[in-house]
Every structure is written in C-alpha cells, then in structure tokens.
C-alpha cells in the first residue's frame, strides 16, 4: 500500500507560488493579446475587403488545425533564432517565457477571434444602421455601439476560453519553463514525492478553474435576467 507523505509541500510553497506566477503571466498576457488581436481578426473576417477577410480566415483555420504543443515547440525553437538574426539579441539570453507567451497569444487569438466574430454577429444589424444614421463613422459605430454589446454577450465564452487557456499553460513543459505544473513536477521528482505533488497541483488547478466557471454561471444568469 502506497504511503502518502505530504510533508514536502509546505516547504515548496514559495517555489510553487513563483511557478503559479509564471502560469498566470502567460495566461493574462495571452488573454489580453488574444482579445485585441482576435477582435482585429474578427473585424477583418467580417470586412468587405476581400484580402483582409481571406487573411483572417486563413490565419484562424491554420491555427485551429495545429496542436498547441507544436506551436509552442516551434516558437521555443524558432523565436530565439529569429530574434538573434533580426535584432542581434545573443542566443544565450533566456527567451523561453517570451516565446511561450508569443505562441500562446497567437494561437489563442484564433479561438478568440471566432468567439468575437460570433459576438459581433449576435448584435442585430439595425444597431449598426442606427449608429450610422446618427452620423457615426464605421469605426465609431463599432467601438461605441456594436462591440460593447458584443463583448457583453461574450463574457461567459471568453472566460470559459480563459479557463482552457490557463489549463493549457501546463504544456509549456516542452520548453522546460518553470510554470506551476512544471515546478510541481520538478519538486516532486526531487523529493521522490511526485504523486503527492501532482495531486496537490491538480487540486489547485481544480479550485481555480471551478471558481471561475462558477463566476461564468453567475454572470450568465445575470445576463439572462437583464
């Protein structure tokens, strides 16, 4: 019978917290970039300028057809080389966090853009017409009238995608980056307590993700009654 021994956890909390910091940093940066770039992609896709629409559609389809791990690995392998040849940044510097963030952000943008596109299309056409009829430019009508309503409808989906993104950050283990999951695994290995460490890490992921998904449900209920 396996004897559980949790004693190595309290001492490792500072390191684990640091790992959590890395996971959250990747998550938040990817969310922010993903929403901004995703919004632009969505607007391109809905634009009547065909090349823009094609570009956005191609971007989304490519990223949605490739496994995330591969994108991360490519970024891990390619971005440092690229930066070196473009900006002369020496190879030695640690680019793992930067390239992981870039990989996530560009990958997630494809998913966010689809959510945002659906959100924009969920706003009745008459709203754009009414905004234009008041003399607003297309940009003003989008910014002041259509997007605020689109985002209000999209918050649950965006948050749900954020949960998925947060869980997916554990994939950065391919670049040996010390995120929460990676740190937990490393400490577990070191102390010979891998099972306990991974159970603990799983519990932390569960609590955080469950809390956010409850928030989503609460918000959805509020949306429905509003």
Q: Which residues of the chain form contacts with another protein (CB under 8 A)?
A: 124, 126-127, 129-137, 140, 144-145, 148-149, 152, 226
- Alpha carbon distances (Å) from 209 to 39, 116, 212: 25, 22, 5
Nearer to another protein by Cβ, of 130 and 195: the residue is 130
Q: How far is the CB of 153 from another protein (least distance, A)?
A: 10
Structure tokens at 58: 């191609």
Q: How far is the CB of 126 from another protein (least distance, A)?
A: 5
CB 108 within 8 A of CB 31: yes
Nearer to another protein by Cβ, of 137 and 214: the residue is 137
CB 171 within 8 A of CB 163: no
Structure tokens at 45: 């896709």
Nearer to another protein by Cβ, of 62 and 144: the residue is 144
Nearer to another protein by Cβ, of 136 and 174: the residue is 136
CA distance 74 to 83: 14
CB atoms within 10 A of CB 158: 19
SS3 state of residue 10: helix
Phi, psi of 192 (to 5 degrees): 65, 30
Nearer to another protein by Cβ, of 149 and 167: the residue is 149
Cα atoms found within 13 Å of the Cα of residue 44, Cβ hemisphere only = 18
Q: How far is the CB of 224 from another protein (least distance, A)?
A: 13
Q: How far is the CB of 43 from another protein (least distance, A)?
A: 18
Q: How far is the CB of 225 from another protein (least distance, A)?
A: 11
């Amino acid at each position: 019978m396996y004897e559980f021994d949790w004693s190595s956890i309290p001492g490792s909390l500072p390191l684990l917290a640091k790992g959590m910091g890395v996971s959250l940093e990747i998550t938040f940066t990817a969310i922010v970039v993903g929403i901004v770039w995703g919004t632009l992609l969505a607007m391109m896709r809905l634009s009547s300028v065909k090349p823009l629409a094609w570009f956005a559609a191609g971007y989304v389809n490519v990223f949605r057809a490739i496994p995330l791990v591969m994108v991360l690995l490519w970024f891990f392998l390619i971005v440092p080389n690229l930066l070196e040849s473009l900006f002369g940044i020496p190879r030695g510097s640690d680019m793992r966090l930067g390239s992981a963030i870039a990989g996530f952000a560009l990958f997630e943008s494809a998913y966010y853009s689809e959510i945002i596109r659906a959100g924009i299309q969920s706003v009745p056409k008459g709203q754009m017409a009414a905004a234009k009829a008041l003399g607003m430019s297309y940009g003003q009508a989008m910014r002041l009238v259509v997007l605020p309503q689109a985002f209000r409808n999209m918050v649950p989906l965006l948050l749900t995608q954020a949960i998925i993104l947060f869980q997916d950050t554990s994939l950065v283990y391919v670049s040996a980056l010390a995120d929460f999951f990676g740190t937990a695994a490393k400490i577990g290995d070191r102390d010979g307590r891998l099972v306990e460490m991974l159970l603990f890490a799983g519990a932390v992921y569960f609590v955080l993700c469950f809390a956010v998904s409850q928030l989503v449900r609460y918000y959805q209920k509020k949306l429905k009654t509003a």
